[in-house]
């Protein structure tokens, strides 16, 4: 991650309430590195968009301070923060051509005519719309309009770009294309981006780090791989990616591992992440792709008998739903060599201790 020790954006003890009673954002302390792509991920009402709006200047913190490049911005209006913004609804002026839309933030900043022309040309080339400058937004597809909105946010060389659900209105194919496009531009320019989404796939694809919000708090801040492979609590495990979740009770703890009794399944060996003590309830998290079919006897610490209940073909992989002691588990099998199982089959499944995480009961 670029500039890991360089806090370009800093939230210090920031809180926000709209009614004086309920905190929408609670005691937020967050450092964002210069050149970083940070995604604020969470469900509706989690506080992620309010956090972005406070950084943009459209909302004022009830408590705490926000800094950009070492300077407090509490009293700075949005237009003086040198921030580019990209919204879900594009926010393009419908009566202006693409070139005129891009020229607007440059004219506001009183740039010269030649500089404006050069910056527009460069920005449109960057988003691969060099031949579309004379068109009106209504003559463009949704994906093209979003590229124009992105070019407008970048054309005046802001130090920081904020994106609020910018791909939410696009279909899946366009969304996937734009994810890669935004990522490419970020790498080319090195600009700091703070991105808001509730789409976990989008967050995992694009980000250097992801802050998972819920109920006004950051529950985990990590790289995409760290977040997916090492969820630190039950909420993150349930919200990010597919997971098999099993409730049980800790019956033994041995350093970094523990044994959990799961009703109907017996004992499961897991890593201790948020397991408090012997006798306490926990939620076990197990990724579907970590479960093996018919492992060699004795090769895995967790081995159970299962019955195949359902096969769902999804192109590159097959989801296999199995029943184990009254519990349903989902297994993801790569489809490279075909899947040699069928509904009703009896088989064994297994997984490693380190692939199974004992978390708070949620």
Name, in order, each residue with C-beta under 8 angstroms of 211's C-beta and a sequence gap of 6 or more: 30, 38, 39, 40, 41, 48, 218, 220, 221
Name the DSSP class of 289: G
Name the DSSP class of 295: P
Tell me, what's the pLDDT at 339?
Answer: 66
**Whole-number percent of the chain with pLDDT over 70:** 98
pLDDT digit string, tens, across residues 164-201: 998 887 888 888 888 988 898 899 889 999 999 999 99
Examine the pLDDT at 2 and tell me if it is beyond 60: no
Q: φ, ψ for residue 71 (rounded to 5)?
A: -110, 130
Which of 25, 1, 2 shows the shortest CA–CA distance to 13?
Answer: 25
pLDDT digit string, tens, across residues 19-63: 999 999 999 999 999 999 999 999 999 999 999 999 999 999 999
Q: Cα-atom radius of gyration of the chain, to the nearest Å?
A: 24
pLDDT digit string, tens, across residues 245-255: 999 999 999 98
Helix (H, G, I), strand (E, B) or coil at 189: helix
Specify the higher pLDDT residue, 213 or 339.
213
Q: Counting beta carbons within 10 angstroms of the beta carbon of residue 309, is it exposed (0 to 12), middle (13 to 18) or buried (19 or more)?
A: middle
Q: What is the pLDDT averaged over residues 201-210?
A: 95
Rounded to the nearest integer, the mean pLDDT of the chain is 92
Domains 7-231 and 242-359 share a fold: no
Examine the pLDDT at 82 and tell me if it is beyond 90: no
Tell me, what's the pLDDT at 6?
Answer: 66
pLDDT tier, 353 (very low <50, low <70, confident <90, very high otherwise): very high
CA distances from 166 to 3, 148, 161, 314, 326 (A): 26, 12, 12, 27, 42
Which of 183, 184, 168, 151 shows the shortest CA–CA distance to 84?
Answer: 151
Tell me, what's the pLDDT at 3?
Answer: 44
Tell me, what's the pLDDT at 337?
Answer: 67
Tell me, what's the pLDDT at 243?
Answer: 92
Q: Which listed CATH number (3.40.50.300, 3.30.930.10, 3.10.310.30, 3.40.718.10) goes with 7-231?
A: 3.40.50.300
Please give the CATH topology (third level) of the domain spanning 242-359: OB fold (Dihydrolipoamide Acetyltransferase, E2P) (2.40.50)
Q: Where do the DSSP E strands lie in 188-316?
A: 192-197, 209-214, 217-222, 244-254, 257-262, 266-272, 281-286, 292-293, 302-313
Examine the pLDDT at 338 and tell me if it is beyond 70: no
pTM for the model = 0.89
Q: Counting beta carbons within 10 angstroms of the beta carbon of residue 103, is it exposed (0 to 12), middle (13 to 18) or buried (19 or more)?
A: buried
Helix (H, G, I), strand (E, B) or coil at 23: strand
H-run or E-run covering 151: helix 142-154
pLDDT digit string, tens, across residues 143-172: 899 889 999 999 988 989 999 998 887 888
As a whole number of angstroms, the distance between CA 210 and CA 321 comes to 30
Residue 256: CB atoms within 10 Å: 10
Instruction: Copy the structure tokens of residue 95.
Output: 């009566």
Which sequence spans correspond to the domains of the chain?
7-231, 242-359
H-run or E-run covering 317: strand 317-324
Q: Which residue has the tokens 């407090």?
A: 72
Pairing outcome for strands 266-272 and 302-313: unpaired
């Amino acid at each position: 991650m670029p500039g890991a020790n360089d806090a370009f954006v800093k939230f210090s003890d920031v809180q926000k309430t709209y009614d004086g009673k309920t905190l929408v954002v609670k005691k937020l302390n967050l450092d964002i590195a210069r050149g970083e792509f940070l995604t604020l991920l969470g469900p509706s009402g989690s506080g992620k968009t309010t956090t972005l709006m406070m950084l943009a200047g459209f909302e004022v913190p009830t408590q705490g301070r926000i800094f950009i490049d070492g300077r407090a911005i509490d009293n700075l209006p949005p237009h003086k923060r040198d921030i580019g913004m990209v919204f879900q609804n594009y926010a393009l002026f419908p009566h202006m051509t693409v070139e005129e839309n891009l020229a607007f933030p440059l004219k506001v900043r009183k740039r010269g005519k030649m500089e404006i022309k050069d910056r527009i040309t460069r920005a449109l080339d960057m988003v691969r719309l060099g031949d579309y400058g004379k068109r009106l937004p209504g003559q463009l597809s949704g994906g093209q309009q979003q590229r124009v909105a992105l070019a407008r946010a970048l054309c005046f060389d802001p130090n920081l770009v904020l994106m609020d659900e910018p791909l939410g209105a696009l279909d899946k194919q366009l969304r996937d294309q734009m994810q890669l496009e935004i990522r490419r531009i970020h790498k080319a320019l090195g600009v700091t981006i703070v991105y808001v989404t509730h789409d976990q796939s989008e967050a995992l694809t694009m980000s250097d780090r992801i802050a998972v919000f819920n109920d006004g708090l950051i529950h985990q801040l990590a790289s995409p791989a760290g977040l997916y492979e090492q969820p630190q609590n039950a909420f993150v495990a349930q919200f990010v990616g597919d997971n098999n979740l099993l409730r049980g009770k800790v019956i033994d703890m041995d350093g970094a591992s523990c044994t959990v009794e799961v009703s109907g399944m017996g004992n499961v060996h897991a890593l201790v992440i948020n397991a408090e003590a012997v006798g306490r309830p926990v939620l076990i998290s197990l990724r579907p792709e970590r479960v093996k079919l018919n492992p060699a006897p004795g090769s895995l610490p967790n081995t159970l008998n299962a019955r195949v209940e359902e096969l769902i073909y999804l192109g590159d992989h097959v989801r296999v739903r199995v029943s184990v002691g009254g519990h349903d588990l989902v297994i993801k099998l790569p489809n490279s060599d075909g899947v040699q199982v069928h509904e009703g089959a009896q088989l064994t499944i297994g997984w490693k201790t380190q692939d199974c995480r004992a978390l708070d009961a949620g």
